[in-house]
Chains A and B, each alone.
Chain A
């Protein structure tokens, strides 16, 4: 079965430091990849997505992610974080060969805590 693994459940980091949140997926078939962000007491919001084309994807709030097919990874990065980036980050995958119905497969989330 397809799965998504977020390798770190919690990532503490100081303000203005760089951060990388790691995500690996299980399948080698064509995939669509997403990062969603959930700020405290809010719903999920799409941060960025990879559908095709350039493997480096830029999203909102200065985040970017790189699709690495050989390593089946889609790690999220930001060169300098702010306190306001404190949130839960979810990696998700949908598989292109899923027929007419694509389900999002979710990772368990990574809690990013930015400290002053």
Chain B
């Protein structure tokens, strides 16, 4: 158990819909990362938040957005869903990416999204 929790575990929805995925980082971790894992694209970094602020963006679509709340949990919002958005979405957390030291990322179990 990494200490990172993600809900829900599975999500099945229809095209055009909007969903919200939730992540709670490990206690004490200030940074949250979101990843998408699909069979054809592999593991793709989407976005990173640090202490409530967006820190880095990866291959995140405009239909997707995220935020990190004052209690440090994070939500990933996916809207106007398409069949191709079906994937595993992982959240990871680390202590502080700006400290000049290496900080290991700890991964949650993921949310499997199926868009029908």
* Main secondary structure on A side of the interface with B: loop
Interface residues on A, range: 20 to 34
Q: Check A101/B56 contact, CB under 8 A, given A43-B2, A109-B43.
A: yes
How far, in Å, is A54 (CB) from chain B's closest CB? 16
User: Given the known A-B contacts A102-B97, A103-B48, A106-B43, are A45 and B109 also in contact in the complex, defined by CB atoms under 8 Å?
Assistant: no
A72 interface hit (Cβ, 8 Å): no
User: Is B55 part of the binding interface, using a Cβ–Cβ cutoff of 8 Å?
Assistant: yes
Report the minimum CB–CB distance from B12 to chain A (whole Å): 16
A94→B102 contact, CB < 8 A: yes
Q: Which residues of A contact B4 (CB under 8 A)?
A: 43
Q: Which residues from chain B contact A42 at a C-beta distance below 8 Å?
A: 109
Least Cβ–Cβ distance between B75 and chain A, in angstroms: 18
The proximity string for A residues 75-116 relative to B, scoring 1 for CB distances below 8 Å and 0 otherwise, is: 000000000000000100010000011111011110000000
Contact of A101 with B97 at beta-carbon distance under 8 Å, contacts A42-B109, A43-B2, A43-B110 already known: yes
Residues on the A chain within 8 Å of B103, using CB = 102
CB distance from A95 to the nearest CB of B (A): 11
Asked if B98 and A44 make an inter-chain contact with CB atoms under 8 angstroms apart, the answer reads no
Chain B residues in 8 Å Cβ range of A100? 97-98, 100
Q: Per a CB cutoff under 8 Å, which of B58, B104, B108, B109 touches A103?
A: B58
Complex Cα distance, B2 from A46, in Å, reads 10
Set of chain B residues within 8 Å of A46, measured between Cβ atoms: 104, 106
B109 touches A101 (CB 8 A): no
CB <8 Å contact, B109 and A43? yes
Per-residue contact bits, chain B 72-116, to A (CB 8 Å; 1 contact, 0 not): 000000000000000000101000011010111111111000000
What are 25 A-to-B residue pairs whose CB atoms are below 8 Å? Answer: A32-B102, A36-B107, A42-B109, A43-B4, A43-B90, A43-B108, A44-B90, A44-B92, A45-B107, A46-B104, A90-B43, A94-B102, A100-B100, A101-B56, A101-B98, A102-B102, A102-B103, A103-B45, A103-B56, A106-B42, A106-B43, A107-B42, A108-B43, A109-B42, A109-B43
